[in-house]
Amino acid sequence: MEYVIPGIIILIVLGLILTNIRVVPQATEYVVERLGKYHETWKAGLHVKLPILDKIKKQVTVKEQVLDTPPQPVITKDNVTMQIDSIVYFHIFDSELFAYGAVDPVFALGNLSATTLRNIVGELTLDETLTSRDTINGKLTMILDEATDRWGIKVSRVEVKNIMPPEEIRRAMEQEMRAERDRRQTVLEAEGHKQAVITRAQGDKEAMILAAEGERDARIARAEGEAKALLLAKQAEADGLKALKEAAVTQEVLELKRFESLVKMADGRAAKIIVPTDAVNVSKNSVLFSEMTGLGNVTNAAPEEEKAEEEDPCCERFDNPDNVPGAYPTI
């Protein structure tokens, strides 16, 4: 009996110790009170609390959380009522402030987000609200983060999830969008037609310029060819004259060359050439030229003999001495 009571006491002490051992998981914190007053905050790991004296007040997760607020009716500056909902990303940085700062900090954060969103959108018109989401998100994040510091909450960012204007506003916006698209299509078609006309005109202009340049180059080439041919002909003629001069030809040969030039000038054309008298005299002296052309030969040709009229062998001439017309011989 003397060992029973100490054993029972030991078992009771061990039971109390084991039941008051706590293991705090990762990314979780426990807020511990002693005698109804905040005592400490347990981080992740193994902890032991005093029986009866210590009490775990709240288990807090320090991971980032998402608060999806329901759509809220919001009135814009130009009196348009629309439904807007937002998403708040936050995490708890102080478990003590989160446990004692507000009765329900997450619920308070949702209501604060809705009221702040109404205030911000109330200063904007409908068009500004639809096109200023980044501005709304920035203002919401700054205001909520500053207001929730005393609750131990850090707001990392806020995103406007959806903006739903009234049905008549949506229909008007769709009509405006359709009209704007039609206008842009018309402008694009007109711009394309204009660009095509300009491109075609530029192409015609360049084609005409190239054709004119080609014609000009062809004319220049022809003129250069003709000039070169004329230059070569004159050069050959000059070389011929130089050769004749160097050969010391006589006056008769020069006169012969002159007449050859005259013959070439009258070749194939109805031309009348008047030969000077001194040229004829010189040509008479040139036996070779006289034999070739017959110029200077003044001897008349012998006249042709007249042929005797032959009698008709077929018929004899009838006796009609008087040549009386209508007289016929008698048979």
Segment 64-87 mean pLDDT: 89
- Cβ atoms < 10 Å from Cβ of 276: 8
Helix axis angle, 251-265 to 277-285, nearest 10°: 120
Return the pLDDT at 171: 85
Per-residue pLDDT tens for 260-284?
666 666 555 555 555 555 555 555 5
Per-residue pLDDT tens for 286-320?
444 445 545 444 444 445 555 545 554 444 444 44
Per-residue pLDDT tens for 208-235?
999 999 899 999 998 988 888 888 888 8
What's the predicted TM-score (pTM) here? 0.53
CB neighbour class for 22 (10 Å; exposed up to 12, middle 13-18, buried from 19)? middle
Q: Are 150 and 189 in contact (CB under 8 A)?
A: no
Q: If pLDDT is split at 50, 70 and 90, which confidence band does 14 have?
A: confident
Segment 146-169 mean pLDDT: 90
Q: Are 3 and 9 in contact (CB under 8 A)?
A: no
Q: Are 177 and 114 in contact (CB under 8 A)?
A: no
3-class state of residue 153 by DSSP: strand
Q: Are 279 and 252 in contact (CB under 8 A)?
A: no
Per-residue pLDDT tens for 168-208?
888 888 888 889 888 988 999 999 999 999 999 999 999 99
Which residues neighbour 115 within 8 Å (Cβ) at sequence distance 6 or greater?
Answer: none
Share of the chain above pLDDT 90, in %: 30
Q: Which residues pair with 84 in a beta bridge?
A: 72, 163
How far is it, in rounded angstroms, from Cα 36 to Cα 46?
A: 22
CA 114 to chain CA centroid, Å, is 49
How far is it, in rounded angstroms, from Cα 106 to Cα 91?
A: 10
CA 212 to chain CA centroid, Å, is 30
Per-residue pLDDT tens for 91-113?
999 999 999 988 899 999 999 99
